[in-house]
Amino acid sequence: MSDVNEGGNFGDGNFAEYITRERDWLHAEREQIFTQQEELQSQLDTINCEFAAIEAYEGAKSGKAARQQAPAGRQSRARRGRRREGLLELIRQSDGLSRGEILERMGLKGDKAGEMSVSNALTALAKRNQIRREGGKYYPASSDQSEAELPLGAPEGDQLHEAGGELAQD
């Protein structure tokens, strides 16, 4: 918040402009960190594959079946919220996707647990106004909405129903 001068006023603009600049800066920082996180996860996945290959080799060499566990000290389950982040990125990179299209692109079609996870993530993202649903397709929320705001004229219950009601449809 470096735009505040000695008198406590906000430089050349007003407070709303200042907040908009700060919000834009924070969004850019968050996106940069998400990108770094994805790169690190990719590196970690590569290392875990190498561990699995070594264990498979050792198992084949000794005649024992390879262990079906993650390397020591690590769980194989993805970090909480990871699916939501990937889903949001997928929606941002597309021109609107239906739930079925999302499941196909994520390789989860027919995986009941994966389908439920995607449905829950879509509901959570819609509830936080990070995505919107129009005509059966999901789109990124417009950049001028904050996470705490609802679209004009949309009662809160209708928005949640739209996102959650998608569960039974494909």
DSSP β-ladder status, 137-140 and 131-134: antiparallel
At which of 48, 73, 98 does a domain end? 73
Tell whether 83 and 157 lie within a shared domain.
yes
Tell whether 119 and 165 lie within a shared domain.
yes
By three-state DSSP, how is residue 7 classified? coil
Residue 5: predicted pLDDT: 57
What's the domain count of the chain? 2
What tens digit of pLDDT does each residue of 122-144 get?
988 889 999 999 999 999 987 65
Tell whether 94 and 145 lie within a shared domain.
yes
For residue 66, the tally of other CB atoms under 10 A from its CB is 15
Which has more pLDDT, 168 or 30?
Answer: 30
By three-state DSSP, how is residue 108 classified? coil
Tell whether 55 and 120 lie within a shared domain.
no
Residue 2 lies in a domain: no
Tell whether 61 and 122 lie within a shared domain.
no
CA atoms within 13 A on the CB side of 12: 1
Q: Which amino acid is located at 72 in the chain? A: A
Res. 11: pLDDT tops 90 = no
Beta bridge mates, 138? 97, 133
CA atoms within 13 A on the CB side of 120: 10
* Distance between CA atoms of residues 134 and 48, nearest Å: 40
CATH number, domain containing residue 127? 1.10.10
Give pTM, 2 decimals.
0.41
Residue 4 lies in a domain: no
* Alpha helix stretches (DSSP H) within the chain: 15-62, 82-92, 99-105, 112-127, 156-165
Tell whether 34 and 115 lie within a shared domain.
no
Domain that holds residue 112: 78-170
* Sign of torsion over alpha carbons 83, 103, 100, 116: negative
- Structure-block tokens of residue 131: 């995505």
Which whole number is the average pLDDT over 109-132?
89
